[in-house]
């Protein structure tokens, strides 16, 4: 974990604003009060945590106004150039621009969070107790993510009091509410009781589609991204990858990108008949928090969220059981760790018990098993895009090759 502290004074040419302490304390206080009210309602009806909100029928104009209320600037934090105290000094100035200057005697501490594979994430501590989260977008993320779409979803989720609140936006990142909590581990998600809670939370998220239904022309995230990443790979990114590593060049030629295109079309024909929901699309253990004191599970990091078949979101969660992102071989897929049929059915039973879906557990299990290949394809292509540009210490290419191998194995069954 990267840690650096500083008591440097902030420098800002921004117009005077209320001090950071009073502004953030007021904002966070309102958020926590709303969360408490919502949590008390959810005890009798979990679905209320997501859907029983006076803002749930808010118009796009209201969504836009929520984003307009968030402090915003165009400052860029260049992590390739800013290190140590230089990064702290730049962060302090950025905080002053967005929220108002810190007091001279308030130290600023940054603790880098390990395990993040798209962005650089830091815990920010002001003084001895004020905390928030700093998220700096990864290099080349425009190839991976639609930030405008992500912010639109964060606005909608804020209306429903879901997840950490958005506090401030800057040129290549944002500040989010810090939730006193424990991040789940790969062992936690295998525990039957917790697995059932995750399933219930997933179903509640999926139910958001009833509040914010997709437009008739809305594309499913899984196919939209697969098409976008495959097109980028076959035009500009394959030459980049081949030039970066001679072994990659050999493996890419063996992969046969032309044949992969045919495989993608076959996958689209095979994968069908799964209801469209609002899906998180990246529900790995690192994106699930257990709130201190209440044991409530909160899902975070909605970067890949959007409309998708329900089976994609469930299958993706099952696939995440196979990874240990905090080990020396974090990119390795451990096939023996995929949930057993019994573990799958326990999860799916909890999922179905949360709603009123007219489907048997065995039928849903087959649906999820079918769509698993689309998850492997999605993340396989994602890994190749990341390998071409990301500066994060993760073996994206190796990860990608394993996912594509599994995709083809499933497609051939």
Strand partners, 4: 110
Q: Is 329 exposed, middle or buried (0-12, 13-18, 19+ CB in 10 A)?
A: exposed
% pLDDT > 70, the chain: 82
* Mean local confidence (pLDDT), 400-408: 98
Residues 304 and 382 occupy one common structural domain: yes
- Max distance between CA atoms of the chain, in angstroms, equals 65
Residues 165 and 208 occupy one common structural domain: no
Residues 13 and 155 occupy one common structural domain: yes
Per-residue confidence (pLDDT) for residue 365, from 0 to 100: 99
Residues 188 and 153 occupy one common structural domain: no
* C-alpha distance from residue 49 to each of 161, 187, 253, 260, 296 (Å): 8, 27, 50, 42, 11
pLDDT at 371 over 90: yes
Question: Pick the residue with more confidence: 47 or 310?
Answer: 310
pTM for this predicted structure = 0.82
Q: What's the DSSP call for residue 128?
A: T
| Band (42; pLDDT cuts 50, 70, 90) | very low
Residues 73 and 118 occupy one common structural domain: yes
Residues 66 and 159 occupy one common structural domain: yes
Q: What's the DSSP call for residue 237?
A: I
Residues 213 and 107 occupy one common structural domain: no
In this structure, are residues 77 and 91 in contact, taking their beta carbons and an 8 Å threshold? yes
Per-residue confidence (pLDDT) for residue 63, from 0 to 100: 52
In this structure, are residues 261 and 401 in contact, taking their beta carbons and an 8 Å threshold? no
Per-residue confidence (pLDDT) for residue 240, from 0 to 100: 96
In this structure, are residues 339 and 321 in contact, taking their beta carbons and an 8 Å threshold? yes
Residues 151 and 189 occupy one common structural domain: no
pLDDT at 34 over 80: no
Q: What's the DSSP call for residue 211?
A: T
User: Residue 385 region, left (φ>0) first, then alpha (ψ -120 to 50), else beta?
Assistant: alpha
Pairing of strands 306-309, 276-279: antiparallel
Q: State the Cα–Cα distance between residues 81 and 44, nearest whole angstrom.
A: 51
- Output the domain CATH number for residue 325: 3.90.1200.10
Q: State the Cα–Cα distance between residues 327 and 337, nearest whole angstrom.
A: 15
Q: What is the pLDDT of residues 328-347, one digit of tens each?
A: 999 999 999 999 999 999 99
In this structure, are residues 209 and 307 in contact, taking their beta carbons and an 8 Å threshold? yes
**Residue where one domain finishes, among candidates 136, 157, 178:** 178
* Mean local confidence (pLDDT), 275-300: 95
Residues 210 and 321 occupy one common structural domain: yes
Q: What is the pLDDT of residues 207-265, one digit of tens each?
A: 999 999 999 999 999 999 999 999 999 999 999 999 999 999 999 999 999 999 999 99
| Mean pLDDT over each residue of the chain, to the nearest integer | 85
Side-chain-facing half-sphere of 306: CA atoms under 13 Å = 19
Residues 168 and 207 occupy one common structural domain: no
Q: What is the pLDDT of residues 60-114, one digit of tens each?
A: 444 555 677 889 999 999 998 999 999 999 999 999 999 999 888 789 999 998 6
Residues 156 and 280 occupy one common structural domain: no
Containing structural domain, residue 104: 3-178
Q: State the Cα–Cα distance between residues 265 and 277, nearest whole angstrom.
A: 23
Residues 13 and 132 occupy one common structural domain: yes
**Residue where one domain finishes, among candidates 139, 157, 178:** 178
**Residue where one domain finishes, among candidates 147, 178, 209:** 178
Number of domains in the chain: 2
């Amino acid at each position: 974990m990267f840690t650096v502290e500083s008591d440097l004074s902030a420098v800002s040419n921004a117009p005077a604003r209320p001090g950071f302490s009073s502004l953030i304390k007021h904002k966070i206080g309102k958020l926590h009060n709303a969360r408490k009210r919502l949590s008390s309602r959810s005890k009798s009806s979990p679905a209320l945590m997501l859907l029983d909100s006076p803002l749930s029928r808010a118009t796009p104009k209201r969504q836009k106004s929520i984003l307009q209320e968030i402090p915003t600037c165009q400052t860029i934090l260049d992590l390739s150039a800013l290190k140590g105290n230089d990064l702290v000094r730049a962060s302090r100035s950025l905080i002053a621009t967005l929220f108002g200057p810190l007091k001279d005697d308030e130290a600023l501490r940054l603790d880098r969070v390990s395990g993040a594979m798209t962005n650089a994430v830091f815990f920010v501590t002001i003084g001895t107790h004020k905390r928030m989260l700093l998220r700096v977008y990864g290099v080349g993320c425009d190839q991976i993510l639609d930030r405008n779409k992500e912010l639109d979803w964060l606005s909608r989720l804020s209306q429903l009091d879901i997840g950490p609140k958005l506090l401030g936006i800057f040129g290549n990142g944002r500040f989010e509410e810090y939730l006193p909590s424990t991040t789940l581990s790969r062992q936690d998600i295998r525990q039957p009781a917790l697995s059932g809670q995750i399933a219930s939370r997933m179903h509640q998220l999926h139910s958001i589609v009833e509040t914010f239904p997709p437009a008739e022309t809305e594309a499913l995230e899984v196919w939209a991204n697969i098409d976008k990443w495959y097109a980028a790979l076959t035009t500009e990114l394959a030459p980049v990858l081949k030039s970066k590593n001679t072994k990659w060049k050999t493996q890419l030629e063996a992969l046969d990108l032309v044949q992969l295109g045919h495989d993608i079309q076959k996958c689209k024909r095979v994968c069908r008949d799964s209801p469209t929901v609002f899906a998180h699309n990246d529900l790995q253990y690192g994106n699930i928090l257990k709130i201190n004191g209440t044991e409530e599970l909160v899902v975070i990091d909605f970067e890949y969220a959007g409309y998708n078949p329900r089976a994609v979101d469930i299958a993706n969660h099952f696939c995440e059981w196979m990874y240990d992102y905090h080990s020396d071989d974090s990119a390795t897929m451990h096939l023996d760790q995929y949930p057993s049929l019994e573990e799958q059915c326990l999860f799916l039973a909890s999922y179905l018990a949360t709603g009123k879906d007219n489907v048997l557990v065995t039928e849903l299990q087959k649906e999820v098993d079918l769509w698993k290949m689309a998850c492997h394809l999605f993340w396989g292509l994602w890994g190749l895009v990341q390998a071409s540009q990301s500066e994060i210490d993760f073996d994206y290419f190796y990860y990608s090759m394993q996912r594509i191998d599994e995709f083809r194995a499933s497609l051939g069954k």
